[in-house]
Amino acid sequence: MLSLLKMFPGVVLLVVLSAAQDDRSRPSAAFIDVNVVTGDSEQILRNQTVVIEGDRIVEVGSADQVTAPSGATSINGAGKYLIPGIGEMHGHIPPPGDPELERVLFLYVANGVTTVRGMLGFPGQLELRGRVLRGELPGPTLYLAGPSFSGSSIDSPEQAEERVRRQKAEGWDLLKVHPGLTREEFDAMARTAREVGIRFAGHVPADVGLLHALQSGLETVDHLDGYIEHLDGERASIPESALREIARRTKEAKAWVVPTMILWETLLGTHSLETLKAYDGIDYMPRTQIERWITAQRERVERPGFSREEALRIAENRKRLLRVLSEEGVRILFGTDSPQQFSVPGFSIHRELRAMREAGMSPAEIIRSATANVGAYFASKDKFGLVKPGMRADLILLHENPLADLGAVQKRTGVMLRGRWIPEAEIQRLLAELEVGNRQSATE
């Protein structure tokens, strides 16, 4: 049964779904007569029944041939569209004990984000990851990078090597690369990571450069970091031939990219502060957080040397780059870098979907980047990201066809999280309570 837990009055809301119960022990459910968008194809499977047992999809087939198990919860899918849950591949999870932790987890799930790759580790997060998987704390499935490798955390190649071995032993899912590493430190990290078998991803340190990072096995290049610098795209429009060449080099390196288009537009300063303050989801964040974002944005655009013309040129080059990367077959992973600078957890995905469409990717390609590709990236961890038997039952039921209009992802009937069905009416009730709590806190 769904209930509301107020951990901190007016501040944090949690959807509690039989909290002490393991996800795999959930009773069966079935989506009846639904149109299925599998996640890896432009084809729509119409009038299907999708059967869920525990946290797994066990059967997908024509509604006139597949019967829901006796006692299963039936969810009417007539005229609706079922897609895999969204993966946020550059997200941030507050550390345990942070008063915003439950809020962030809830806002992700409320928007159909069922998997998050946390890209900055904190002590205690590995235990948090386990609590979520055991169903003790509602939230998306978490895959976590450890505390980052950066110019401020690493002082030598030997320290980089030791940190890799320690994070591997502790059980982190990957290593996070931040700016500031020397090439020697980066190489020591990369060499040791390959030796012990742990992936590494993130930024491209200036001393390393994009090509060397790709050749060294940086698995995901987040924010398209290093590309504009490599292509001299800050000063001029990038020739199409140069875009094609670096896309081919990226594909040859078998690297993935996580574009985070909307976050970078904010950091570049392409939008007015009034536009940023009007984004969906802002009312669900603490007022103190919004004020910090407003201050940071004002400082960004008022700094000496800021040029909106240059910001717009870089943003346009990034769009052209993403289009070419997609056309050349580079594997793209969906991410928004939330919560961060007006990117509200969960809500930011809808602007990112639009931005990727504006860059020239098709709706099917964009949905694949957020579903099937995420599952492929984490294939060694679990099976998910597709509406197919054997997959983890992370699903979103939509009123309209997202392959025709990505705006349909905002028009939900509900979210299924590891086999647990959360109707949209319940999500909206909790969001309304959170907004009221924020207003009350702001007047205290």
CATH code of residue 73: 2.30.40.10
Co-location of 40 and 151 in the same domain = no
Question: What phi and psi, each to the nearest 5 degrees, are found at residue 424?
Answer: -60, -35
Q: Are residues 175 and 257 in the same domain?
A: yes
Domain boundary residue, one of 329, 356, 377: 377
Residues 152 and 221 placed together within one structural domain of the fold = yes
How confident is the model at residue 27, as a pLDDT? 66
Residues 6+ apart with CB under 8 A from 306: 269, 300
Instruction: Give which of 121, 214, 115, 222 is closest to 168, Cα–Cα.
Output: 121
Q: How far is CA 325 from the centre of its chain?
A: 19
Q: What are phi and psi of 438, to 5 degrees?
A: -65, -45
| pTM of this structure | 0.94
pLDDT value at residue 439: 75
Read off the CATH number of the domain in which 334 is found: 3.20.20.140
d(CA 126, CA 178) in angstroms, rounded, equals: 20
Statement to judge: residues 156 and 252 lie in one domain = yes
Are 302 and 424 within one domain? no
Q: Are residues 416 and 363 in the same domain?
A: no
Domain count for the chain, please give it. 2
User: Any idea which residue has 């998306």 for tokens?
Assistant: 140
- Is residue 105 a contact partner of residue 339, using CB atoms and an 8 Å limit? no
Residues 142, 78, single domain; the answer is: no
Tell me how far apart the alpha carbons of residues 205 and 320 are, in angstroms, rounded to a whole number: 23
Same domain as 91, residue 228: yes
148 and 75 share a domain? no
Q: For residues 225 and 202, what is the distance between their CA atoms, to the nearest angstrom?
A: 8
> Which phi and psi angles does 162 have, rounded to 5°?
-65, -40
Whether residue 393 is found in the same domain as residue 421: yes
The residue ranges of the chain whose pLDDT is under 50 are: 1-21, 23
- Give the C-alpha distances (Å, rounded to integers) separating 377 from 89, 206, 234, 236, 324: 10, 26, 31, 34, 21
Contacts of 64 (CB under 8 A, 6+ apart): 47
Cα angle value 28/32/37 (rounded, 5°)? 100
Instruction: Give the domain extent around 203.
Output: 86-377
**Where does a domain end: 346, 377, 408?**
377
Show which of 359, 377, 395 is a domain's final residue.
377
DSSP 389-425: TTSB--EEEESS-TTT-GGGGGSEEEEEETTEEEEHH
Count CB atoms within 10 A of the CB of residue 307: 11
Tokens of 249: 């080099």
- Per-residue pLDDT at 398: 98
Q: Judge residue 48's burial from the number of C-beta atoms within 10 Å of its C-beta, 0-12 exposed, 13-18 middle, 19 or more buried.
A: buried
Would you state the pLDDT for residue 135? 87
pLDDT tens digits for range 403-434? 999 999 999 999 999 999 999 999 999 999 99
Query: Same domain for 297 and 416?
Result: no
* Residue 326, token pair as written in the block: 């997609």
Strands 2-8 and 12-17: antiparallel
Q: How many CB atoms lie within 10 A of CB 265?
A: 21
Residues 293 and 398 grouped into a single domain: no
